[in-house]
Structure 1
């Protein structure tokens, strides 16, 4: 194992407010308030604007073979859903106002389009999307993962996933970049520069999974120098692990270094394969004790 420290330019440890438009995808899960608080902290530090996306799932009218007129009961159901959504949106507006951060609540009705897809379309006018991690309940996990995958693959915007059971410390002072020589990892590190420049220390962590291969730290050290030229106080760190332990090592490094953020490329091996059989993205999404900044 090895570690290399490359000094960043003096005065680099200040938050760079490049995320002026921050969108929170409200999934209806218990962790939504954690996602909103994280977005507010970032917006407050950068003078940014927060937009909460509220998705109202409208039932599809059923027309049977004997009638071309939908059941009148649907109209009442729509009114009830809209009224519940209005009350919830008003509570969120009051919450935003109390935090004294510019923000808005955008309510979107979805009937024939998946809510996650509609949220993805709306989130493209953003610099950053914030989403709360799911709890362990299967329904909660399935719902939040649907949003996460759609936003990560199709919004064209990085996704910050925050723990649902503890407040995030943002902007971060220390971070871990999960480095691999892949397009996803490169994109994630570049998308996160606004946060990484504000950190006093950033570990660029490369994990080797082939114990038979000779150690080669040239790649991680080159990328660490690249980050340093962008004003990041970067350290190159290499570790050895089997494939199953990669996510665990990333999270352990974050804990050992007291990092408040992990930066990682999302789904480098394909979304279905990683979700079905396990992978770094899946494990970080479900289990990270600190926020994870994903790009694809």
Structure 2
């Protein structure tokens, strides 16, 4: 038989020296998991930094940035002449839309300057709640980013309403970027607040693309119950092992908050570790309970000076 009848490509030849050696892991950037990033803009202080943070992640991931410009349209109070359009309101609508179009062009130019592909979507909320509209739009993204103002309580309350709506109604993780923060993204160091709950588990999983790139990750358990300490340790060690299987350099810290809130202890650990990101489950006790008596989610949103990634 002619030895050239079935020619073999040298590249297909089996390298016997490679037998027994572990396969080389494909070194891909984990951040590329965030192919579509949405940033919610309500024209509040902190929006610019949120866009910059989201744009940096989108550029590194080679993905797309979707800026959701929220516009709350004024609603006319009902009266005897409600069927007759108010000319003043029509003029006001026209001005609001003109301003939104101008701001959309400015944000599009900003994306181009950051070398990020993406678009600006203007959502007019007339008969629908703006946070619910934002949540519906975010569902088509991998990650939502929201800025948190540090100026007035009224601005922070508006931002918190968007945050709560998106977190509870979109099914997507939400990265909150405080106004004026100097933390970089992706982070070099991160803290994961852990409790054996579905919300904390989802947050740790959703944050994996950021945790895998970090130099060090600390899993922090605050106020572990003494009567179930063994179960808590088993749970947190299980999480640490899971993260290590993904290449995360994870360590465990157990601490007590004393008479302080859990959020304060978690923030102190983050500052002590020089973390640039906190990962936490959101609204594990329900939004209405936290609205009435406070809670870790609300306190982390308002008090953290570094970005926090929440999941519900």
**TM norm structure 1:** 0.91
Q: Secondary structure at the match of 1:244?
A: coil
Among 53, 68, 71, the residue aligned to 1:38: 53
1:158-180 per-position Cα deviation (integer Å, ceiling 9, x unaligned): 00001112243001121111010
Among 147, 159, 168, the residue aligned to 1:153: 168
Change (3 A) 1:188 1:243: farther
Q: Which residue of 1 aligns with 2:222?
A: 207
1:64-90 per-position Cα deviation (integer Å, ceiling 9, x unaligned): 324621212221111110111111111
1:181-223 per-position Cα deviation (integer Å, ceiling 9, x unaligned): 111000100111111111121111111254x546432221121
Among 114, 130, 146, the residue aligned to 1:131: 146
Shift of the alpha carbon at 1:56?
1.7
Q: Which residue of 2 aligns with 1:222?
A: 238
Q: Secondary structure at the match of 2:184?
A: coil
CA distance in 2 between counterparts of 1:276 and 1:138 reads 17
Change (3 A) 1:11 1:248: farther
CA distance in 1 between counterparts of 2:41 and 2:68 reads 6
Q: Does 1:283 align with 2:299?
A: yes
Q: Which residue of 1 aligns with 2:44?
A: 29
CA distance in 2 between counterparts of 1:218 and 1:10 reads 29
Contact 1:133 1:163 in 2 (8 A): yes
Change (3 A) 1:225 1:138: same
Shift of the alpha carbon at 1:102?
0.8
Q: Which residue of 1 aligns with 2:90?
A: 75
Q: Which protein has the larger Cα radius of gyration, Structure 1 or Structure 2? A: 2
CA distance in 2 between counterparts of 1:23 and 1:172 reads 19
1:118-154 per-position Cα deviation (integer Å, ceiling 9, x unaligned): 1111111100000011325221122111101100000
Change (3 A) 1:180 1:11: farther
Q: Which residue of 2 aligns with 1:295?
A: 311
CA distance in 2 between counterparts of 1:173 and 1:28 reads 30
Q: Secondary structure at the match of 1:198?
A: coil
Q: Which residue of 2 aligns with 1:233?
A: 249
Question: Which ranges of structure 2 fall in alignment gaps of 5 or more residues?
Answer: 1-23
CA distance in 1 between counterparts of 2:85 and 2:275 reads 55
Contact 1:15 1:45 in 2 (8 A): no
Change (3 A) 1:179 1:12: farther
**TM norm structure 2:** 0.86
Q: Which residue of 2 aligns with 1:5?
A: none
CA distance in 2 between counterparts of 1:10 and 1:269 reads 40
RMSD across aligned C-alpha pairs, in angstroms?
Answer: 2.0
Stretch moving more, 185-194 or 275-284: 275-284
CA distance in 1 between counterparts of 2:222 and 2:76 reads 52
Change (3 A) 1:274 1:198: same
Q: Secondary structure at the match of 2:280?
A: strand
Among 254, 269, 284, the residue aligned to 1:253: 269
Q: Does 1:64 align with 2:79?
A: yes
CA distance in 1 between counterparts of 2:132 and 2:273 reads 37
